[in-house]
Structure 1
Amino acid sequence: MAEAPSPPHPVDQRLPFVRQSAFALQHVLIMYTGCVTVPLVFGAAAGLDRSTVALLINADLLVAGLITLVQSLGLGRIAGVRLPIVTGATFAGLTPMIVIAEEHGLQAVYGSMLAGGVVGLALAVPFARVIRFFPPLVTGSVLTVVGLSLIGVSGGLIVGNDPAAPDFARPLHIGLAALVVLIAVAFLLAGRGVWSQLGVLIALLAGTLLAIPMDLVHLDGVGEADWLGLPDPFHFGAPQFPIAAVVAMSIVMAVVFAESTASMLAVGEITGRPVSRADLARGLVGDSLSGLLAGVLTSFIDTVFGQNVGAVATTRVVSRYVTATSGAILVALGLVPKLGALVAALPGVVVGAVGLILFATVALIGINTLRKVDLGDRVNTTIAATSVGVGLLPESAPGMFENFPSSAEILLGSGITLAACTAFTLNLLFHHTRLGTSARAAVRAGAPGEGPGAAPGPEVARGESV
């Protein structure tokens, strides 16, 4: 008798339509606020009008949906890790984009993003082979800086960026922001099930309702927006490619690679389908495609959303067809300009308050990543401390590089770029060269209990991948 065919792996199983749609919608609701926060914050920082911000939001949702479909279903043997993951705009590119916009304009922002996508395609396979050079010591330091450096952007949305403006640091606005934070905390901590997962979104909606009588909500553009439409390719004109901007966005792509790699490996463990080097390379190609699409459609580079990884772990629903359905929902939302206009009308004070929680969460993810490193090792501690300290300099001392050439200011003015370069270089020097071996031996010889005869520390103590 012929043997019965073995059942498909849970990752490859399709759920009944109603259940699959419900879990897919939950994924969208979990990531939605974080996804649209990026265009909202960038639009405010770049001084864009509401109609343009609405266009960015629609392009953002469309690209996020397309890349989620690619990552979940795969694109032949070319792209897609084929796991239940949801992608969305990364915060890592936000500060460099703002700096590039200030120095060279929006054409350079999207030209450099397009170039970053091309660089990513070239580096996807090699990166999958040299992932050991981006251990938790590097990724944790960078993610910590990503979160902490964006808190200043959130504060600017709450109090304003022009001290001469009549409504700058208005107590009523600060009070509204504090109330939004309290609402989010209440649902996140006291809510149960889906109410806890939607805490940030509920706070965003509640804050917007409270802002209406304060004349902070303007819906003029919603009525003028179409119900259906496509993003406008190269909306800001022909792309430009300043060298410093291209380098900065290429570094952002490397940071995204490291961040997505950690998430894809985690999903592989959760689902019981280990991620091979080929799977990882295809997943990184998916990230790179987001840069290409974003450069053309005026969107943002995507990464795997950690909160959706958490949702997979919590619900134990591991079907990639669920997240593929989420991608289809995001594509549909991206084709509705009226929805983008509605989101663009959200008041900056409320977005800033919600962003405060989201950005701080990113910083805590970085800190939690650093917990995988032996910080009792003085070399690891020094690398992490130096990387975080250097990365926070541009935010702590605004204008410190303003007398440098504009090309240098783009690289030096981004704390994320500085942190990534510092962490990568120091880790490479002290964990992968003879010079580093000698230096570490000297450090340990001078440390109590760390003489030459001391037992070697665990693999993680050397800053390598776990």
Structure 2
Amino acid sequence: MPRTPKHPVDELLPVGKTALLGLQHMSIMYAGSVAVPLIVGSALKLDEPTIGLLVNADLLVAGIATLIQSVGIGKILGIRLPVVAGATFSVVNPMIMIGAQYGMQAVYGAMIASGVFGLLIAKPFAKMIRFFPPLVSGTLLAVIGISLIGPGAAMIAGHDTGAPGYAAPSNIGLAFLVIALLVLFTRFLRGFVSQIGPLLAVAIGLVVAIPMGLVHFAGVREASWFGLASPFHFGPPEFQAAAIMSMCVVMLVTYTESTADLLAVGEIVGRKPTDSDLARGLATDGFSAVLGGVMNSFPDTAFAQNVGLVQMTGVRGRWVVAFAGGVLVVMGLVPKVGAFIAAVPEPVIGGVAVVMFAMVAAVGIQTLKKVEFSGNHNTFVVAVSIGVGMLPAVSLDQFGGSIFFKNFPDWLQIVCGSPITITAVVAFALNLLFNHLGASRRAPSDVASDPAPPAEAPHA
């Protein structure tokens, strides 16, 4: 009896290829992931050794979550797709506010409670997948990609617009060199070499950055070979009601973002997640919050830039991502390895990152191609969702934080400060309003202005 061929997602590539492709995933996500502990630690005025412990714990938990997402644990955790997990930026402002008011013990107590909340609601939340048709998921993916261009630009130009070296031409030139290399490698290289084009671009960018004085290996020499904060480094967790409510809202934001990314990965690799698959993927985010609360880390979400990398390279194997997860675990346990990766200048990573973020937006546009736009209000739904959703992404302070809703209550700032959450809520509501409630009524003006497509080329 002939053996059923493996789905590309489950294929095992040769060890060498798996290692290089896994390192590529890790290099793409590293800067975005460690930015969270650096920002939170600095804002709460923690000393450098403590911030270093937060970074190590962050990498360790991200590696474990990535391993779980790609390999899976029975019918409980892991979507078993090439999903890279990393610390979510949605947690930055709430953690800073909670830490400043109640202390770090309350931060991690709230995180543990929100993780338990996430585990409990993972399956009910996954049932909402039917409310994420291409109209909603495509719009949401487009906004995820577009809204992340800002953080990508900050990697290149700098995070403080008031700093003397902000937007240095040398940094911008280095990033554009990396982008140009990526374009050339994608156009002219073939096969496996083409698939590791982003990693090659980063490697060449690193070499070019050395004589520019942008690479500093002092941190590598000073870093220890082994180091990890003990569980509950700041003391026993404290459970403050207001802090817990804030972090539970963050968990809902994280689930919204992850849902779009998980659906996108399934679309790219040709394995559409079922409700159960999605529930396991979301539950992994909840588990990461519980683990992060114990290990002094941060909640994780599916990283959009790595979704873009899967789309760009066409490498669909989940074991490649599993290798990346293993590397992250090693980096979390061996600070010297993490310090070496940290030596790669942000403009180098940023050059690749902006392309990866834009790839996510492109996946969203591809998804919207499946939507029927003739004789209905779907164009209007997309326009309002993107217009309203992008407001917090384009109104920023000098450090890149959203200030559009700064005069609103803290809990509302947590929700509305995320373009992803606002877009999800608006697109979801407008899709129900125009396509489910009274959907039989059509707008004559739309019919007149949007003629039906030719019969031989119907929309999907």
Which TM-score band applies after superposition, normalised by the shorter structure?
0.7 to 0.9
CA positional deviation for 1:132: 0.5
Amino acid at match of 2:414: I
Change (3 A) 1:8 1:244: same
CA positional deviation for 1:392: 0.9
Tell me, yes or no, if the aligned pair for 2:138 and 2:366 is still in contact at 8 Å. yes
Q: Aligned partners of 1:378, 1:33: CA distance in 2, in Å?
A: 44
Q: Aligned partners of 1:13, 1:206: CA distance in 2, in Å?
A: 30
Amino acid at match of 2:423: A
Q: Aligned partners of 1:114, 1:227: CA distance in 2, in Å?
A: 29
Q: Aligned partners of 2:434, 2:428: CA distance in 1, in Å?
A: 10
Tell me, yes or no, if the aligned pair for 1:394 and 1:414 is still in contact at 8 Å. yes
Q: Aligned partners of 1:265, 1:159: CA distance in 2, in Å?
A: 33
Aligned partner of 2:212 in structure 1 is 214
Indicate which of 23, 32, 40 corresponds to 1:38.
Answer: 32
Change (3 A) 1:29 1:193: farther
Indicate which of 75, 78, 95 corresponds to 1:77.
Answer: 75
Q: Aligned partners of 2:418, 2:319: CA distance in 1, in Å?
A: 38
Q: Aligned partners of 2:449, 2:183: CA distance in 1, in Å?
A: 44
Q: Show structure 2 runs of 5+ residues with no match.
A: 397-402
Aligned partner of 1:170 in structure 2 is 168
Change (3 A) 1:275 1:146: closer
Structure 1 position 10 matched with structure 2 position 6: yes
CA positional deviation for 1:89: 2.2
What RMSD, in angstroms, separates the aligned Cα atoms of the two structures? 3.9
Q: Aligned partners of 2:179, 2:234: CA distance in 1, in Å?
A: 35
Change (3 A) 1:338 1:169: same
SS for the counterpart of 1:346 is coil
Aligned partner of 2:420 in structure 1 is 416
SS for the counterpart of 1:168 is coil
CA positional deviation for 1:265: 6.4
Q: Deviations over 1:67-121 (max 9, x none)?
A: 344345442332234x45343327xx32x23443554459587666545533332
CA positional deviation for 1:344: 1.9
Q: Aligned partners of 2:33, 2:51: CA distance in 1, in Å?
A: 7
Q: Aligned partners of 2:10, 2:170: CA distance in 1, in Å?
A: 50
Aligned partner of 1:134 in structure 2 is 132
SS for the counterpart of 2:73 is coil
1:214-253 equivalence runs, <5 A? 214-230=212-228, 233=231, 238=237, 241=243, 243-253=245-255
Change (3 A) 1:102 1:184: farther
Q: Aligned partners of 2:55, 2:186: CA distance in 1, in Å?
A: 25
Change (3 A) 1:111 1:155: farther
Q: Aligned partners of 1:180, 1:25: CA distance in 2, in Å?
A: 22
SS for the counterpart of 1:448 is helix
Indicate which of 258, 261, 266 corresponds to 1:259.
Answer: 261
Q: Deviations over 1:304-344 (max 9, x none)?
A: 853575599657xx6x6676556445434443221111122
Indicate which of 409, 418, 431 corresponds to 1:427.
Answer: 431
Structure 1 position 122 matched with structure 2 position 124: no
Structure 1 position 344 matched with structure 2 position 337: no
CA positional deviation for 1:64: 4.2
Change (3 A) 1:231 1:133: farther
SS for the counterpart of 2:443 is helix
Structure 1 position 281 matched with structure 2 position 285: no
- Report the number of matched residues: 435
SS for the counterpart of 1:89 is strand
The answer to which of 346-355 and 231-240 deviates more is 231-240
Change (3 A) 1:125 1:25: same
Amino acid at match of 1:408: L
Q: Aligned partners of 1:167, 1:249: CA distance in 2, in Å?
A: 36
Tell me, yes or no, if the aligned pair for 2:249 and 2:414 is still in contact at 8 Å. no
Tell me, yes or no, if the aligned pair for 1:227 and 1:338 is still in contact at 8 Å. yes
Q: Aligned partners of 2:194, 2:49: CA distance in 1, in Å?
A: 32
Indicate which of 385, 395, 407 corresponds to 2:393.
Answer: 395
Amino acid at match of 2:144: V
Aligned partner of 1:444 in structure 2 is 443
Tell me, yes or no, if the aligned pair for 1:27 and 1:311 is still in contact at 8 Å. no
Structure 1 position 306 matched with structure 2 position 300: no
Q: Deviations over 1:174-218 (max 9, x none)?
A: 222222222222223322223322222222222222222332222
Tell me, yes or no, if the aligned pair for 1:217 and 1:346 is still in contact at 8 Å. yes
CA positional deviation for 1:359: 1.7
Tell me, yes or no, if the aligned pair for 2:388 and 2:423 is still in contact at 8 Å. yes
1:287-298 equivalence runs, <5 A? 287-297=285-295, 298=297
SS for the counterpart of 1:22 is helix
CA positional deviation for 1:363: 1.9
TM (norm. structure 1) is 0.78
SS for the counterpart of 2:408 is coil
CA positional deviation for 1:25: 1.8
Amino acid at match of 1:88: A
Tell me, yes or no, if the aligned pair for 1:117 and 1:291 is still in contact at 8 Å. yes
TM (norm. structure 2) is 0.79
Change (3 A) 1:104 1:373: farther
Tell me, yes or no, if the aligned pair for 2:137 and 2:364 is still in contact at 8 Å. yes
Tell me, yes or no, if the aligned pair for 2:66 and 2:325 is still in contact at 8 Å. yes
1:15-94 equivalence runs, <5 A? 20-42=14-36, 46=40, 48=42, 55=53, 58-81=56-79, 83=80, 85-89=82-86, 93-94=88-89
Change (3 A) 1:421 1:277: closer
Tell me, yes or no, if the aligned pair for 1:97 and 1:109 is still in contact at 8 Å. no
Q: Aligned partners of 1:171, 1:101: CA distance in 2, in Å?
A: 34
SS for the counterpart of 2:366 is helix
Amino acid at match of 2:446: A
Tell me, yes or no, if the aligned pair for 1:117 and 1:253 is still in contact at 8 Å. no
Change (3 A) 1:55 1:197: farther
Q: Aligned partners of 1:13, 1:145: CA distance in 2, in Å?
A: 27
Percent identity between matched residues is 39
Q: Aligned partners of 2:213, 2:354: CA distance in 1, in Å?
A: 22
